[in-house]
């Protein structure tokens, strides 16, 4: 019996520091299922709760449960030894690392395994779409590196369509804003802007310190709406307005001011 499947083709709009199983010292970058599965789980948990997430994707705690949805690649890009700037706003002072270059494409396949209910199968697909629309992958992913974007007929072409599809996917307790919709910036320029944030505001931008590391609650990615590129920002409710003020009033705010006002649409 052939099991039901669904495929998702996607493209990296910015360079992706996806790394390998060797960790940060790897001399090449490659695309692997485990990190993507982890991101999809995160979005599933955020939108539908931990219990649903464990039921669909499995759980290693206690007696453990197996996943009811399998994930694999149908088309996988070759490993990359190309180097990309880790901190593009630093004028080549932040060092380089191997990365999958912007424009890299891949096709992800989900398979509905036995005992996966129709409701679980539907939610697994919604979680995957949430990652494709709002998520990123790899090092510096909170600052728009590894910006994935789906290649499909359901992809939103404008802000209204994006708002509608996010609402239909069960997104909640998250603010979303579009930045620079009419700024006519390249993906590389947008990534450099997203990387140019403000230190000493842990509650808004996190902390990269060795002894006090805190993931950034404000996350950026590059997206494509129709023919145009812009930044998408998301954070728990109540944070994005602070982020906008801090970035537009920071020392040397030129990059952010060139993108104009933020469109808080969700």
Most confident of 14-28, 74-88, 237-251: 237-251
Beta bridge partner(s), residue 234: 176, 219
182-231 pLDDT, tens digit each:
999 999 999 999 999 999 999 999 987 767 789 999 999 999 999 999 99
Tokens read off for 236? 């728990």
For the chain, the average pLDDT equals: 93
pLDDT at 93 over 70: no
How do 219-225 and 83-85 pair as beta strands? unpaired
45-84 pLDDT, tens digit each:
999 999 999 999 998 775 668 899 999 999 889 999 999 9
pLDDT at res. 53: 96
Residues 75-94 have a mean pLDDT of 86
Which residues, 6 or more positions from 124, have their beta carbon under 8 angstroms from its beta carbon?
40, 44, 56, 57, 68, 69, 110, 112, 116
**Alpha carbon distance 210, 189 (integer Å):** 28
pLDDT at res. 172: 81
Overall pTM surpassing 0.85 (yes/no): yes
pLDDT at res. 91: 73
Secondary structure of 158-177 in the HEC alphabet?
CHHHHHHHHHHCCCCCCEEE
Domain ranges of the chain: 5-264
**Alpha carbon distance 169, 145 (integer Å):** 24
The pLDDT-based confidence of 24 (bands split at 50, 70, 90) is low
Which of 43, 36, 42 has the alpha carbon at shortest distance from 12?
Answer: 36
Kindly report the backbone phi and psi dihedral angles of residue 89, in degrees, each rounded to the nearest multiple of 5, phi listed first.
-85, -5
Which of 246, 263, 264, 90 has the alpha carbon at shortest distance from 183?
Answer: 263
**Alpha carbon distance 127, 53 (integer Å):** 9
pLDDT top residue among 76 and 23: 76
Tokens read off for 114? 């036995």
Which residues, 6 or more positions from 209, have their beta carbon under 8 angstroms from its beta carbon?
none
Q: What's the gap between Cα 203 and its chain centre? A: 20
The pLDDT-based confidence of 237 (bands split at 50, 70, 90) is very high
pLDDT at res. 23: 64
Ranges of H-type helices in the chain: 33-48, 50-57, 118-134, 159-168, 187-195, 202-205, 240-248, 254-258
Residues 225-240 have a mean pLDDT of 96
The pLDDT-based confidence of 171 (bands split at 50, 70, 90) is confident
Mean pLDDT is lowest, of 65-69, 98-102, 107-111, 227-231, for 65-69
- Sheet containing 69-75, strands listed edge to edge, beginning at the edge strand earlier in sequence: 69-75, 105-112, 5-12, 148-150
């Amino acid at each position: 019996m052939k099991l039901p499947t669904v495929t998702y083709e996607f493209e990296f709009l910015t360079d992706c520091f996806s790394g390998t199983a060797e960790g940060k010292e790897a001399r090449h970058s490659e695309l692997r299922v485990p990190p993507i599965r982890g991101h999809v789980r995160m979005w599933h948990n955020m939108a539908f709760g931990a219990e649903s997430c464990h039921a669909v994707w499995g759980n290693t705690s206690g007696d453990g449960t197996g996943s009811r949805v399998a994930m694999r690649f149908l088309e996988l890009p070759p490993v990359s030894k190309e180097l990309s700037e880790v901190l593009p706003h630093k004028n080549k002072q932040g060092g380089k690392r191997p990365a999958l270059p912007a424009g890299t494409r891949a096709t992800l396949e989900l398979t509905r395994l036995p005992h996966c209910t129709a409701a679980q199968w539907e939610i697994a697909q919604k979680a995957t779409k949430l990652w494709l629309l709002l998520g990123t992958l790899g090092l510096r992913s909170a600052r728009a590196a590894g910006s994935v974007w789906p290649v499909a007929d359901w992809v939103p072409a404008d802000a209204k369509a994006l708002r509608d599809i996010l609402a239909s996917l069960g997104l909640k307790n998250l603010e979303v804003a579009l930045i620079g919709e009419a700024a006519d910036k390249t993906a590389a320029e947008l990534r450099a802007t997203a990387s140019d944030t403000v230190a000493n505001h842990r509650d808004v931008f996190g902390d990269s310190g060795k002894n006090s590391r805190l993931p950034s609650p404000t996350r950026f990615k590059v997206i494509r709406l129709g023919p145009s590129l812009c930044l998408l920002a998301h954070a728990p409710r109540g944070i994005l307005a602070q982020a906008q003020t801090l970035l537009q009033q920071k020392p040397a705010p030129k990059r952010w001011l060139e993108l104009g006002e933020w469109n808080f649409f969700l």
